Structure 1
Amino acid sequence: MRNIVFTLGCAFVAFLAYALIYCYNKPARNLSAETGIPVTASELYARFTSDHLQANEVYLNKVLQVSGQVLTVKYTPYGEPVVILNTGDPLCGVACSLSKLSPAAKPVKPGEKIIIKGICTGYVNHVELSYSQLAN
């Protein structure tokens, strides 16, 4: 009986190790190949603030193509830009974490109207888009 329990325990640990290694090495999604759901920053923010459960069903983990005006550009401690799109609310917006910008990409300035493509990761204080890239 002890040998069976030990064998099953080892098999379970080996399966967990394989699953973790697979998830860690899984390639990132290719946003260029996916078509995004077109939405404005104001509309997206309004949907999440009015009914976040329904908005999660529609937008969470999906590629979005968000258009709006740049409110501000902030930088993470690692120097990666985070573009905040204006939603009409002075305290909250749509926060888009830009992934590796090419050196030829033009800098984004406050007041500029842009379209950003990214994966919606939910709503905390802002609507969050990860792995974003400029679509225009």
Structure 2
Amino acid sequence: MRNIVFTLGCGFVAFLAGVLVYLYNQPPRNLTTETGIPVTATELYTRFTTDHLHANEVYLNKVLQVSGQVLTIKSMPYAERIVVLNTGDPLNGIVCTLNKLQSAGRLVHPGEKIIIKGVCSGYVSHVMLTNSSLIQ
């Protein structure tokens, strides 16, 4: 009986490990084929700060097309570039992590008005967009 339980336990752990490896190695979503929900940076930030539960239902894990003014650009040594869009709040913004192709591409400058498409990954103190790319 102990051998059967041990064998089943090992099989279950191996199955979970295989699923985790598969999920970890999946390529990122191809956002070029998906239509983004159009929203301004200020509107998106306001919706998350006033009612984050409702905003999560509407925006979380969805492709968004956010328009706004660039507040700052951050370059990380071992990561993609990060663009922060102005929301009217001097401490918090829409943080957009550019995908690897966009990170090496067109440069944006603070004050420039852009449209960026990415996947909303939630709100902590900033609204986060991942796998983002510049539309305009």
Q: Normalising by the residue count of structure 2, what TM-score does the alignment of the two structures yield?
A: 0.92
Q: How much has 1:29 moved relative to structure 2?
A: 0.5
Cα-to-partner distance string for 1:10-36 (whole Å, 9 max, x where unaligned):
211221121112112212110111111
Contact 2:48 2:123 survives alignment (8 Å) = yes
Q: 2:85 is matched by which residue type in structure 1?
A: L
Where does 1:37-56 land on structure 2 (aligned, <5 Å)? 37-56=37-56
Work out the percentage of aligned pairs sharing the same amino acid: 71
C-alpha distance in 1 between matches for 2:71 and 2:96: 11
On the 8 A contact 2:102/2:133 being kept in 1, the answer is no
What is the CA distance between 1:124 and its match in structure 2? 1.2
Give the structure 2 partner of residue 63 of structure 1.
Answer: 63
Whole-angstrom distance in 1 between the partners of 2:70 and 2:44: 15
Question: CA 1:26–1:68 in 2, change beyond 3 Å: closer, same or farther?
Answer: same
Helix, strand or coil for the counterpart of 2:44?
helix
Residue 16 in 1 paired to residue 16 in 2?
yes
The structural deviation recorded for 1:104 is 7.9
Given the superposition, is the C-alpha separation of residues 103 and 13 from structure 1 closer, same or farther in structure 2, using an over 3 Å criterion?
closer
How much does 1:102 deviate?
Answer: 5.1
2:101 is aligned with what amino acid?
L
Gaps of 5+ in 1: none
CA distance in 2, matches of 1:17, 1:78: 27
Q: Look up the match of 1:7.
A: 7
Compute the TM-score of the two structures, normalised by the length of structure 1: 0.92
Q: 1:111, 1:3 → 2: CA distance?
A: 66
Q: Could you tell me which amino acid in structure 1 is paired with residue 18 of structure 2?
A: Y
Q: Which moved more, 1:88-97 or 1:103-112?
A: 103-112
Aligned to 1:120: 120
CA change 1:65–1:102 in 2 (3 A) is: closer
* Aligned residue pair count: 136
1:42-64, CA deviations, whole angstroms, 9 ceiling, x for partnerless residues? 00000000011110111111110
